[in-house]
Amino acid sequence: MSFYPVYLTRIHEVKVILIGGNGEAERKTEELLTFGARVHVISEEISDGMRQWYNEGRFEWTRRAYRYGDLEEAGFVVAADYTDQIAEEAAREASERNLLINVMDNIPLSNSAFGSVVRQGKLTVSFSTNGLAPALAVRLKERFQQELDTAYGEFLELSDRIRPAIMETMGDPEDRRKKWYEWVDSEVISLLREGNREAALELTGKIWGREIIAKAGLQTKADSHY
């Protein structure tokens, strides 16, 4: 079985049904909440951490075991703590409703899988071993957590500011592509890492042009037009 990597967008617009309340369910609930998901937990019991989040109103909770029909309003399903019967029934209902479901540690019953995720601001990197060695994915995550510092997040924040102006100003896709690589391969990230945001912005202006920087509403000390 091969895995095709894909990211879910607009997850805040759908209900994520999470079956279970143990430590694994807590970890997955925390991840989903971090990404803004609307979580609905179905479990007779939940962990202390989950109970705290529930008391804060961060997710909904149905205090019983999963029953067939519970996925009627779901957009995505995670079974984190389950019996074999519950896993099989939830997978069957998800299939009938054409839903993505991850039955954790049970690839045959799943049609989606989680990677080990590293986040740095708007940068998200995930690692998957196709379910063959999850511990390796965790170790890769730990390694890259040390290497992906805050400079990458700052770079993406700057990109978020200037991207609309780029799309408005530069009509040729090939020109944009070349500029993007020139910018990414420049010293901008290194300058941000050194805390020299002013120099990073000046270099960004030289690469993209003053018109784009001005449209983005950015300024530098060196040139009041920026």
| CATH number of 97's domain | 3.40.50.720
Give pLDDT, residue 221.
62
Pair (77, 162) in one structural domain: no
Pair (80, 166) in one structural domain: no
pTM for this model (two decimals): 0.79
Give, for all 226 residues of the chain, the pLDDT tens digit: 678 888 999 999 999 999 999 999 999 999 999 999 999 999 999 999 999 999 999 999 999 999 999 999 999 999 999 999 999 999 999 999 999 999 998 999 999 998 888 888 889 999 988 878 888 998 999 998 888 899 999 999 999 999 999 999 998 999 999 999 999 999 999 999 999 999 999 999 999 998 999 999 987 665 554 3
Pair (107, 178) in one structural domain: no
In a domain, 119, yes or no: no
Number of structural domains the chain divides into: 2
Pair (21, 106) in one structural domain: yes
Range of the domain at 53: 11-114
Pair (27, 108) in one structural domain: yes
Query: For residue 63, which phi and psi values (nearest 5 degrees)?
Result: -90, 70
Of 56, 90, 114, the last residue of a domain is: 114
Give pLDDT, residue 133.
87
Give pLDDT, residue 222.
57
Pair (106, 39) in one structural domain: yes
In a domain, 53, yes or no: yes
Of 92, 114, 136, the last residue of a domain is: 114
Pair (159, 103) in one structural domain: no
In a domain, 2, yes or no: no
Pair (174, 103) in one structural domain: no
Give pLDDT, residue 69.
97
Pair (19, 92) in one structural domain: yes
In a domain, 102, yes or no: yes
- Cα–Cα–Cα angle for 10, 19, 36, nearest 5°? 25
Pair (156, 61) in one structural domain: no
In a domain, 165, yes or no: yes
In a domain, 131, yes or no: no
In a domain, 133, yes or no: no
Please name the residue that has the structure tokens 């070349």: 178
Give pLDDT, residue 225.
42
In a domain, 59, yes or no: yes
Pair (101, 159) in one structural domain: no
Pair (109, 32) in one structural domain: yes
